[in-house]
A and B are shown apart, each in its own frame.
Chain A
Amino acid sequence: MVNTDQKIQIQNLTVTYAGVPALKNANFFVQENEILGIIGPANSGKTTFLRTLNRLNDLDPRYQYSGEVLIDQKDIYRKWNVFELRKKVGMVFALPSPLPISIFENLAYGPRRDGISNRKRLEEIVEQSLKAAFLWDEAKDRLQESAMKLSGGQQQRLCIARTLALEPEVILFDEPCSGLDPISTAKIEDAMRELKKKYTLILVTNNTKQAARVSDRVAFFLMGELVEIDQAQKIFTIPKDKRTEGYISGRYG
């Protein structure tokens, strides 16, 4: 069954770290231009799953996987060049992670490594990315300042802009608001709603309210198992699985 709406397909994916299972036989898909929220308690395999998608797990020698992940119908391990994959699948980390260099250089980091060195072209990319991440107005006059001088929320939007600079198709958010205040969080969430028009977004979050606010669909992970995946509305109102209900109501009440 080929469904062109399905940007990412996960088939029988099992992941282990040093032999300990972190993700067990997951089967689902991610639709193009949706925000898929992934919720679940700590150590349920959410982040592991996310880092499988851009093969960042490869860096850990204890990591092993079986099954298949297809992006654009192509297996990420067998058909994709890993560096091309990571440009196509951007990632925003849990804590704001600007490099301690200028704002400009943070944004130019990816394009430069990709071989773009023309100053004008880089300036264009920087401007476009900042605008798309709603940071341009705040940052345009201080591009040469250290990115570390930005506030936490601005830093996180800088990190979003940094992935956008590579013109990705999928963006992974790993608890992007865990260290931010409510106002900064709202700005990031606004940005995500805007971004999904162009990109496919996957949002891992500990905050079920956040998942409810921005996700189109939500997946619930527990102890490495995908318990349930459905429309956000349904998950939060009439979950099929008792465990989902328990987790959500526990959080709410």
Chain B
Amino acid sequence: MKLGNAKLEEKVVFFFLFLSTLMIVVPVVLVIAVIISRGSSVLNWEFLTAMPRSGMRAGGIFPAIVGTFYLVAGTLIFALPIGIFSAIYLSEYSKRNLLTRIIELAIVNLAGVPSVVYGLFGLGLFVVFLKFGASILAGSLTLAVMVLPVIITASREALQSVPKTFREVSYSLGATKWQTIRHAVLPHALPGILTGAILSLSRAAGETAPILFTVAAFYLPRLPKSVFDQAMALPYHLYVLSTQVPNVRLELQYGTALVLVGLIVGANLIAVVIRSYFRAKKQW
């Protein structure tokens, strides 16, 4: 009898847990479905490749797409080397000591700093102090600092998952420490590092607050010519369309959202594919 009650209680509780899960997953599916169904109506070649016209109420989003690509590329150029080297330090060089603990705390902290505070930081350091002005350079650097913890954490995990034997074999063949890292460890951590890079890329592509004061141009219907130019960017463009410009067709906004989400989800899917491909291929 008592056991029967416990079983019943379990059924009820599990049902509510399941409902809660649906409360997260169903809205996600709905959001994606709405964006696709309403955004795809404006999605055509012109929308992707034309300049915006009539105060952004018509035309395409080409400069925003290009701007986002420039920003993402710039972010990776700065963040990847530092992030990977930092991961190498933590995985291969650091000892269990106070310095390592402080570095770990700093990484956790960087990951938790609000995106708008990154915007302030970028404004203060890159735009004003280093006099880069609001520019692709300043925006990329700001985003690079922001995604650093993502790259470090993923790369460190990837490096640490390389078996200890590989290092010992390399040393036993007379290799130096750097040779060992470069030739026996790094190549085998590459898939994991790549995954982290793609995730950080999609994070950089989607952020708005850090680029608000460091690079984003409100309405700039031409392409940037140098890294010291301002640029439009997809997330900021969506913000402008949905809150700053009156009477923009909703479809145009959905279309912009669709392109942005498409890029990001696409990048994430690639990361998942890379991860599972190499996991299946992994031979150790």
Direct A–B contact present (CB less than 8 angstroms) = yes
The answer on a CB contact under 8 Å between B168 and A56 is yes
Q: Given contacts A87-B174, A99-B169, is CB(A61)–CB(B95) below 8 Å?
A: yes
Which residues of the other chain, A, contact B176 by a CB distance below 8 angstroms? Answer: 83, 113
B183 at the interface (CB under 8 A from A): yes
A91 with B283: CB separation less than 8 A? no
| Residue ID in chain B nearest A90 by CB atoms | B172
**With an 8 A cutoff between CB atoms, is A146 at the interface?**
yes
Residues of A within 8 A of B184 (CB): 99, 109
A97 to B162, alpha carbons, bound, how many Å?
A: 13
Q: Which residues of B contact A (CB under 8 A)?
A: 95, 165-176, 179, 183-184, 187-188, 283-284
Q: Are B283 and A114 in contact (CB under 8 A)?
A: no
Interface pairs A-B: 8 shortest CB-CB: A87-B174, A110-B173, A148-B283, A91-B172, A86-B174, A113-B175, A83-B174, A97-B165
Residues of B within 8 A of A217 (CB): none
Q: Within the complex, which residue of A86, A100, A101 is in contact with B173, where a contact is CB–CB below 8 Å?
A: A86
Contact call A100/B283, Cβ cutoff below 8 A = yes
28 A-B pairs in the complex with CB atoms less than 8 angstroms apart: A59-B171, A61-B95, A83-B174, A83-B175, A84-B174, A87-B173, A91-B172, A93-B165, A93-B168, A97-B169, A99-B166, A99-B169, A100-B188, A100-B284, A109-B173, A109-B175, A109-B183, A110-B173, A110-B174, A110-B175, A113-B173, A113-B174, A113-B175, A113-B176, A113-B179, A113-B183, A148-B283, A162-B173
A156 at the interface (CB under 8 A from B): no
Contact A166 B173, beta carbon cutoff 8 Å: yes
Nearest A residue to B175 by beta-carbon distance? A113
| Contact residues in B for A83 (Cβ distance below 8 Å) | 174-176
Say yes or no for A54: interface residue by CB 8 A criterion.
yes
A61 vs B97: C-alpha distance when bound (angstroms): 13
Write out the residue numbers on chain B whose beta carbons fall within 8 Å of the beta carbon of A100.
Answer: 188, 283-284
A interface residues, Cβ below 8 angstroms from B: 54, 56, 59, 61, 83-84, 86-87, 90-91, 93, 95, 97, 99-101, 109-110, 112-114, 146, 148, 162-163, 166
A54 CA to B173 CA, complexed, in Å = 10
Q: Which of A54, A95, A114 contacts B172 (CB 8 A)?
A: A54
> What A residues does B167 contact at CB under 8 A?
59
Residues of A within 8 A of B175 (CB): 83, 109-110, 113
CB of A146 within 8 A of CB of B283, answer yes
Q: Which chain B residues lie closer than 8 Å to A148 at the CB level? A: 283
Shortest Cβ gap from B97 to chain A (Å):
11
Separation in Å of the B212 CB from the closest CB of chain A? 46
Q: Across the interface, do B173 and A163 meet the contact criterion of CB distance under 8 Å?
A: yes
Q: Which of A99, A109, A162 has the most CB of B within 10 A?
A: A99
The CA of A54 and the CA of B165, in the complex, are separated in Å by: 15
In the complex, the chain B residue whose C-beta lies closest to that of A110 is B173
A61, A84, A91, A113: most-surrounded residue (chain B CB, <10 A): A113
